[in-house]
Chains A and B, each alone.
Chain A
């Protein structure tokens, strides 16, 4: 059986003032039915561009190579019209800031109902009734009234619930959630994560969950992909990632996080900062910040290879399968 989503060697570049900037450089990942895969990494590492590549929502100046197969069907060669049938129907997406994807001039009910009418051919009345039902399912009180209200009348948490209701309207097989709780306060984030778990259990939805919060990853994901500067540096089953992180960057991320349950005298910061796009190191992209750096790291970028423990890691410390 084909995987729900299979991305192979995705490369996404943008044409900019005559030059081509490669943002995503050889990303491969697989999401099985019912699986939640997390993508973590610091801002600018390419998480959003990856998700927008899957949805084919990048502008005209974007060029993608490689392959993105959804249930075996290649998305990169689909026409825009065919892609529209998939978007919002079979693959849905929620964003960090719901206001950017909600129409401020349309009532909530109309926005939820529109894809139902378009994709499922529901009547106006039936779409409205289903919208009320969906809002109830995502825990929105006074759903009958809310369908007649506008996005700006709702709080941030409520808007994100509406986004989830919209995303789930056509029972998509795959949900792409790009930092869905980053803009929310922690108690509201807890509500939304609970809701996502409920929705996932009821619909057996596959989820690609993009976040920079390793706590959210631990709570939500089965498998995790760690990105650095446009590339995957580690891929692991979730407990492996936290118990036996392999890549120095993954270790660095985990060590630099303050904990809410344990005291540390001092945090282990990762020195330096992420390389700029036009100053990408020739070798390993993390080498300038890595405490284990060797000569070879500055010369050649390592491959993402399977290592002991079942995870994959892009690091010269682990090449040829064994630890140096």
Chain B
């Protein structure tokens, strides 16, 4: 059996902030015990509504923020225990693509410089070799050499995302964590970027952790999907299995809520009552129970564990 590229165990991130007059501590349980395994060449998505902890999970994996607890194994090594020098080596292999490429591209640097920087930081190649690699990569993402001397503001949203992808790609990483990479784009441009990401995956044997709130995009791009709710994974399965047979009541509601571009289709919608509870004061037991239409007594007190319901289809729910 192939070994996982990335293995996350009980990953937890609590943000502590001092609030109010008396400085009471408020703890935001952004990520609360997430397990997830990703194999080489796969695209695994994390999907869920805003605030459920998707970005925090992604940032902990890249160790851009320190997890409160849990382990993150990259090719078998726990990156939370690595020395700074070893961490740098691993960082080359894991890159991040952001939602808003504009916010993440330095406005005062040319695109050429933006793309060369990671090579300089990691001490790769001579100036000439670096230039060659930059020229290669800009064409690989569908732009041209002429674009290298321009500045980020001279590009459209879709082009900027191409630059963001080129920057992530230039170090030839194994894993790309893409945090809502197409969420800010119009559908016609979104399709261009999704196609590009699929082409690049084939060409460079990339593994993707794809973070998105858009269930249609996730269905299109993923091999496997993890659904998060209030800092926890409530369901994880192969794409086919998840969309054909959504099992957690939250996944069912989420999928039924997506408007479908077919005016003749009968709506069979599960409308969830109320708002998302606050992650600083999550409900006891199953955190979804106050909004669940199948809530039982046990759900109010006991946290359900992820259990395998079908081959490769895991659900955390007390329902049988």
Contact = CB atoms under 8 A, between A and B. Distances in A.
B216 A238 contact: no
A256 B259 contact: no
Interface in A265-314: 266-271, 273-274
A163 interface: no
A218 B262 contact: yes
A266 B190 CA distance: 12
A43 interface: yes
B191 A270 contact: yes
Interface string A190-224: 11011000000000000000001111111100000
A158 B220 contact: no
Interface residues of B, number: 43
Interface string B261-290: 111110101011011100000000000000
Nearest to A42: B186
Interface string B185-213: 01111111011001000000000000001
A58 to B, nearest CB: 23
Nearest to A193: B259
B215 interface: yes
A190 B271 contact: yes
Nearest to B244: A261
Contact of A219 (B213, B243, B267): B267
A218 B49 CA distance: 23
Q: Which of A191, A218, A258 has the most CB of B within 10 A?
A: A258
Nearest to B255: A260
Contacts of A238: 263
A81 B243 CA distance: 54
A256 B190 contact: yes
B217 interface: yes
A186 B49 contact: yes
Contact of A213 (B49, B50, B213, B259): B259
Nearest to B193: A269
B156 interface: yes
Contacts of A258: 191, 194, 216-217, 219-221
Nearest to A219: B259
A155 B278 CA distance: 11
Contact of A218 (B50, B192, B261): B261
Interface string A18-46: 00000000000000000000000011000
Contacts of A267: 191, 194-195, 220
Interface string A54-86: 000000000000000000000000000000000
B258 interface: yes
A229 B307 CA distance: 51
B253 interface: yes
B260 interface: yes
Contacts, number: 127
B148 interface: no
A191 B272 CA distance: 8
A13 interface: no
A257 interface: yes
Contact of A260 (B191, B258, B276): B258
B219 to A, nearest CB: 6
B187 to A, nearest CB: 5
Nearest to B49: A185
Nearest to B196: A269
Q: Which of B256, B265, B274 has the most CB of A within 10 A?
A: B274
Nearest to B182: A258
B53 interface: no
B51 to A, nearest CB: 9
Contact of B191 (A191, A242, A268, A274): A268
B254 interface: yes
A252 B191 CA distance: 10
B158 interface: yes
Q: Which of A260, A263, A273, A274 has the most CB of B within 10 A?
A: A260
A269 B195 contact: yes
Given A258-B194, A260-B255, A217 B275 contact: no
B215 A256 contact: no
B257 interface: yes
A188 interface: yes
A42 B186 CA distance: 6
A191 B271 contact: yes
A260 B269 contact: no
14 contacts: A186-B257, A187-B254, A190-B256, A190-B259, A190-B271, A217-B261, A219-B263, A253-B188, A257-B187, A257-B191, A258-B216, A261-B243, A270-B188, A273-B159
Interface of A: 42-43, 141, 155, 157-158, 185-191, 193-194, 212-219, 238-239, 242, 252-254, 256-261, 263-264, 266-271, 273-274
Interface of B: 49-50, 156, 158-159, 186-192, 194-195, 198, 213, 215-217, 219-221, 243, 253-265, 267, 269, 271-272, 274-276
Given A141-B274, A185-B50, A212-B187, 8 more contacts: A185-B49, A185-B213, A187-B253, A188-B49, A190-B259, A213-B259, A258-B219, A264-B220
